[in-house]
Amino acid sequence: MSHRQVADGLLPEPVPVRFVAEDGTAAPPAGYQGDHPAGYGAPADDLLVEAYRHMVLGRRFDRQATALTKQGRLAVYPSSRGQEACQIAGVLALRADDWLFPTYRDCVALVARGLDPVEVLTLLRGDWHCGYDPAATRVAPQCTPLATQTIHAVGMAEALRRRGEDAVAMAFVGDGGTSEGDFHEALNYAAVLRSPVVFFVQNNKYAISVPLARQSAAPALAYKGVGYGIRSEQVDGNDLVAVLSVLTEAVRHAREGGGPFLVEAHTYRIESHTNADDATRYRDAGEVARWEAADPLARLETYLRGRGLLDTAGVEAAHEAAEEYAARVRDRMNAEPETDPFELFDHVFAAPTPQLREQRALLAAELSAPEE
């Protein structure tokens, strides 16, 4: 095979893979409800309905977290509204024994994975950093230093492979994160080692204020895979069916020894970067409105109704469950968290050094000193 043929086998589709059009009908030109012409299989119907419920719940959770931030219960919250198809498909494509390496943006995915929402929000509430048990959940701590988690995912994938587990690792990363060196080192390592890892880029068009055009001149971010020898795909990130289909194939490819897989999902960050950001300074309302019209949740609902997989009762049940969930999150988050300043010294090392013991005693003296 010529280099050109090898490259052709790795390149993404020229236009993002799409199963469902923006209006919720089966995507043209073929109007297919079965497999995508590029070979991506249609997800099972009941999985799509499950995904719908997760999306409703995820969006409600996101709104609740934003509200808690406005009330001062969270220090900060990066919303993923508009990215629910990615958040949910990313998780549903994985087995419970696969590892997930999320970013700060991915709380909704973690909730969908079944993590305790209060433990997920610990970081943003600020009573500790990571609030859940990564080993038990197989979810790495949400990562803030951009793209650094992508290479951890490769290391984990190598560890899983060497232990003889057929589990994979999936790293979430943003469009901005693909400019970081670690992203490229991770792709290169994964390709050379043929690690069972999936890189999932949520291209939400902005890195804080910086638009995609200032981030990369690649035809699409998915093209970054070919130079490393990684099979890559781009997908309509607001089409749950498409994202789930492509990610499922990516995971299968990695699990069955095909090596790493890169998926770029084209989506959009509807809210500001975080509650502390003001997106009106760098993008106009018209652009946001256009993406609101391409809402992934409405699209999936229309599609499922059109195929007779969902009815009004099903929609209402999903929303009721989401309301109950949000109410429980709100109630639990309204309780002031317990913090212990002495715990600050407990996890620096397996056992505190003599110096940390001294500093702990110093803090104890400070805290027990009478108020002046």
CA distance linking residue 13 with residue 18, whole number of Å: 10
Taking the complex as a whole, the smallest distance from the CB of residue 234 to other proteins amounts, in Å, to: 25
Part in contact with Mg ion (CB under 5 A); list of ranges 93-101, 132-140, 198-206, 232-240 = 198-206
First to last CA, the chain: 80
DSSP annotation of 264 reads E
Among 79, 149, 195, 204, binds ligand TPP (CB under 6 A): 204
129 has catalytic annotation? no
Least distance between ligand TPP and beta carbon 87 (Å) = 11
Residues 281-320 interacting with ligand TPP (rule: CB under 6 A): none
Work out the angle at residue 231's Cα, subtended by the Cα atoms of residues 226 and 233, and round it to the nearest 5 degrees: 95
**Residue 228 interacts with ligand TPP (CB under 6 A)?**
no
Q: If binding is defined by CB under 8 A, does position 152 make contact with other proteins? A: yes
Give min distance, CB of 157 to ligand TPP, in A.
21
Q: Of the residues 104, 184, 194, 282, which is catalytic?
A: 282
* Separation of alpha carbons 48 and 314, rounded Å: 13
Contact between 273 and 56 under an 8 Å Cβ cutoff? The reply is no
State how far the alpha carbon of 62 is from the alpha carbons of 162, 192, 208, 237, in Å: 38, 38, 18, 18
Residue type, 113: R
To the query of whether residue 269 is one of the catalytic residues in this protein, the response is yes
Q: Is 349 or 367 the residue whose CB approaches other proteins more closely?
A: 349
Told to check if 231 binds ligand TPP by CB under 6 A, we report no
* Per CB under 6 A, 81 contacts ligand TPP: no
Closer residue to other proteins in complex, CB, 68/169: 169
Q: CA 213, CA 196: separation in Å to the nearest integer?
A: 31
List binders of other proteins among 127-146 (CB under 8 A).
Answer: 128-130, 133-136, 140-141, 145
Pair of tokens at residue 236: 């309509």
Choosing from 217, 350, 365, 369, the residue that interacts with other proteins (CB under 8 A) is 350
Q: Which CB atom, from 202 or from 245, has the smaller least distance to ligand TPP?
A: 202
Q: What is the DSSP code (8-state) at residue 27?
A: P
Q: Which of 343, 361, 362, 364 binds other proteins (CB under 8 A)?
A: 343
Q: Find the Cα–Cα–Cα–Cα dihedral 130, 131, 133, 139, rounded to 10°.
A: -60
Q: How far apart are CA 17 and CA 118, in angstroms?
A: 35
Shortest spacing between CB 181 and other proteins, in angstroms:
6
- Contacts (Cβ under 8 Å, ≥6 apart) of 205: 175, 211, 212, 267, 268, 269
Choose the contact partner of 177 out of other proteins, ligand TPP, Mg ion, none; CB within 5 to 8 A by kind.
Answer: ligand TPP
Based on the shown chain and the rule CB under 6 A, indicate whether residue 43 belongs to the binding site for ligand TPP: no
Q: How many CA atoms does the CB half-sphere of 156 hold within 13 Å?
A: 22
- Asked if 238 touches ligand TPP (CB under 6 A), the answer is no
Phi and psi for 64 in degrees, rounded to 5? -65, -40
> Contact at 8 Å (CB) between 88 and 114?
no
Q: Which residues are at the interface with other proteins (CB under 8 A)?
A: 128-130, 133-136, 140-141, 145, 148, 150-160, 162-163, 169, 181-182, 185-186, 188-189, 192, 343, 346-350, 353-355
Point out the residues that are catalytic.
Answer: 269, 273, 282
